[in-house]
Amino acid sequence: MKKYKVAVVGVTGAVGVEMLKILEERNFPVSELKPLASARSKGKTVTFQGETIPVEVLGRESFSGMDLALFSAGATVSKEYAPVAGDGGCVVIDNSSAFRQDPDIPLIVPEVNPGAVVDFKKRNIISNPNCTTIISIVPLKPLHDYGKIKRIVAASYQATSGAGTKAMRELEDQVREYAEGKPLEVKVFPYQIAFNLIPHIDAFQDNFYTKEEMKILWETRKIMGDPSILVTATCVRVPVFRAHSVAINIETEKKITRDQAIELLSNFPGVIVQDDPANKIYPMPWFVAGKDACYVGRIREDISCPHGLNLWVAGDQIRKGAALNAVQIAELLRDKALLPGKYCES
């Protein structure tokens, strides 16, 4: 079996740490790991397959001799370094928003549009979608294939970890401060997040939607390959440490009953149906955190629309919404013999 030389950019961040964990859990064939981060991480180490490896400072020469690079360091870093890696023959899987709308760069969720991955050869870059898009689109795919989705109305309930480690720490600190009767310190979010909801994620656009909300529209259309799908979303930050949830209403051309939806979803890879109202069983963040699937429940026909259907979806946005999806793309490339493997070992 071929083994590949793999670089991980942003290796000390939450998604980078998870990427290492998933590469190891899934036995991705790595002959050499190169952990990369900014100068702030100089002197740190990571552990991979029982080996302690020093973190290297990211530079333009970092990808020499690498077969594959997983990027998790943000759009600014990706825009500067991903093309350098790609031009040098290293295949890039980028978790940032830098290239998602570039027509020459595929945007991939392996369960949904695996065939589009071949288009990476134009730039040697593949984009990982936004975490909320991934968690939503996996269960929407079988419903779209059966009934053709015309319109999606979504409201997301996004965990603090989506804003990074400092955001998670701020929630923890504020809960402690509240319990101790101290003033709550606000640094990361515009308002306190403990015991609160903030209907604002990313920058507001000219149409009064936030960029996070628009990503769901842009990315859904590109991944589904259907520019006719109408999408409207409201994205909310909630006082949860890990795992996003999304309330989704769809309108389809062909009616989908509750029983049909359960059957379609139950047979689709990457989806677990958790829907037993009588026993109060439905997806929740505390249950899905640390798990790989997208969980779906509260499935019901829309009483206000003849061809409408409601879903409640929850998934770990650090795993399936980011790190796992990136590694699954790498596995897809490997399985399709699309990783050049110029430096790999047999």
* Positions marked catalytic: 131, 244
From edge to edge, which strands make up the β-sheet containing 271-273? 230-237, 149-158, 244-252, 308-315, 294-301, 271-273
H/E element, 193: none
Which is it for the CA torsion 12, 18, 24, 27, positive or negative? negative
**Could you give the count of Cα atoms lying within 13 Å of 254 in the half-sphere of its Cβ?**
9
Give Cβ neighbours of residue 206 (< 8 Å, ≥ 6 apart): none
Transcribe 225-283 into DSSP letters.
Answer: T-TT-EEEEEEEE-S-SS-EEEEEEEEESS---HHHHHHHHHTSTTEEE--BGGGTB--
CA pseudo-torsion sign 289, 189, 45, 124: positive
Best CA proximity match to 73, nearest among 137, 31, 136, 128: 128
Q: Do 63 and 343 touch, CB atoms closer than 8 A?
A: no
CA 108 to chain centre: 10
d(CA 252, CA 146) in angstroms, rounded, equals 9
Please report the DSSP string for 48-101 in residue order.
Answer: ETTEEEEPEEP-TTTTTT-SEEEE-S-HHHHHHHHHHHHHTT-EEEE-SSTTTT
Q: For residues 193, 75, 315 and 197, what is the CA-based torsion angle, rounded to 10 degrees?
A: 20
